[in-house]
Amino acid sequence: MTDIIFDNIVYKTGKFDEFIDFLYKHIRNSKDDKLILVHINLRNYYYLNKDIRLKKQISENCFVIFEGIGMKTAFLLRGFGRLSDLNGTDSFPLFMNKLSDTRTKIFLLGSNETNVALAGERIRKQFPFIEICGCQDGYFSINEENDIVDTINKSGAEVLFIGRGFPIQEEFALRNKNNLKPTLIWNVGGLFDTISGYKQRAPVLLTQIVH
C-alpha cells in the first residue's frame, strides 16, 4: 500500500491484495491493538473540512482509506496521478475469502433490523466458514451505547463491521474504541443495504473510471 498525505490526513491507497493481506495479518497477530478503518470519499472529505474536531480525531486514531471516483478525479487534478481506491464493496468479499481457514467471528452493526439480518443471512450462505456472532441494527442513542458495546464484547467478535453511515459510525467507534474488544473495527457505510439487496451499487464501469 501507499501513503498519500494531503491536508493533514494520511490516505491509504494501492492494490486490494496488499490491503487484504494487511488486514488478515492484523487480526491474526494483534491481541490488544485496535485498527479503526475509515473510508473517505469526496462527500466525507467535504464533511470533515466542516468538522475540524472529527477530522483531527480520524487523522490521529484511524486507518484512512482512499475511496471513490470523486476522490480519484480530485486527486488527479491536484497532480497526484491515477490513484487506486480501496472501496469497501469490493474489499469485503475479498476479506471474507481470505478468512476461509480461520472461523473468524464477526459482528454486524448498522442499517435497519431487516436489512442487517438479511445481510447476515447472505454472508452466511456465501461464506459458511465465517461465524456471524451478532447482528444489531444501527438505530440507537448514545445513552444505549454501553449496552451495545457490552453485547458486542460478549459475542466474542474479532471483527466489528459498522454500517451506520458517515460520520455517525466513526463517532461511535472513536467514543468506544477503548471499551470495544474486536481488534478490527471497519466502518462500511451502506454495505449492509447493498448486501441485503435493498440498494444497488454503482455500475462497474462507473466505479472503474479514472482507475
- pLDDT higher than 80, residue 30: no
DSSP assignment of 76-102 equals: HHTT--SPPP--HHHHHHHHHHHTTTT
**pTM for this model (two decimals):** 0.93
Domain boundaries, the chain: 2-207
Report the alpha-carbon distance of residue 29 to residue 21 in Å, rounded.
12
At 12, is the pLDDT very low, low, confident or very high (cuts 50, 70, 90)?
very high
Report H helices in the chain.
16-29, 42-48, 52-61, 69-77, 88-98, 113-126, 145-155, 168-176, 191-196, 204-207
At 202, is the pLDDT very low, low, confident or very high (cuts 50, 70, 90)?
very low
- pLDDT higher than 70, residue 208: no
pLDDT of residue 204: 40
Dig out the grid coordinates for 35 from the structure: 485498527
At 200, is the pLDDT very low, low, confident or very high (cuts 50, 70, 90)?
low
pLDDT of residue 198: 81
Rounded to an integer, the average pLDDT of 102-123 is: 96
Q: Give the chain's mean pLDDT.
A: 92
* Cell numbers 488527479: residue: 76
Contacts of residue 147, defined as CB under 8 A and 6 or more positions apart, other chains included, come to: none
